Amino acid sequence: MNALKNRVLLIGNLGKDPEFLSFDKGTKKAQFPLATTEIYKNAEGEKVEDTHWHNIVTWGKTAELAKNYLKKGSQVAVEGRLTHRQYEDGEGKKRYVTEIVVSDLLMLNKKD
């Protein structure tokens, strides 16, 4: 049961090209927004599309893969864990961020 704790699986499309950072000690990071959409019919029988946005963070080789092969609109499946962090913005306000730190990424678009 331990393997199921804090596990997130999503399939969606990138909202923009990945942002890539390379740090002094060789660590690499890529991040991008991922949109997931649920389609259902409401009580009146009307089709409803409900889109949610997720902050995705990748590290190391997965970050390089994201930088080299993903772009806005790419469809991917990600598996990872949910994290929360806070920081102060330039005006001194506390900001809270929820992110999915990826352990596995699968590209779902067909090859060109």
Give the chain's domains with CATH numbers: 2-107 (2.40.50.140)
The torsion region of residue 75 among left (phi > 0), alpha (psi -120 to 50) and beta comes to beta
Which residue in the block uniquely carries the two structure tokens 């409900």? 50
pLDDT tens-place values along the chain, 112 residues long:
677 789 999 999 999 999 999 998 999 999 999 999 999 999 999 999 999 999 999 999 999 999 999 999 999 999 999 999 999 999 999 999 999 999 999 999 876 5
DSSP state of 3: G
Strand 94-107 to 47-59 pairing: parallel
Q: How many CB atoms lie within 10 A of CB 82?
A: 12
Report d(CA 31, CA 97) in Å as an integer: 13
Global pTM reads 0.87
Report d(CA 17, CA 105) in Å as an integer: 15
90-99 pLDDT, tens per residue? 999 999 999 9
Show the beta-strand stretches assigned E in 42-109: 47-59, 75-88, 94-107
CA quadruple 49, 6, 33, 86: dihedral sign = positive
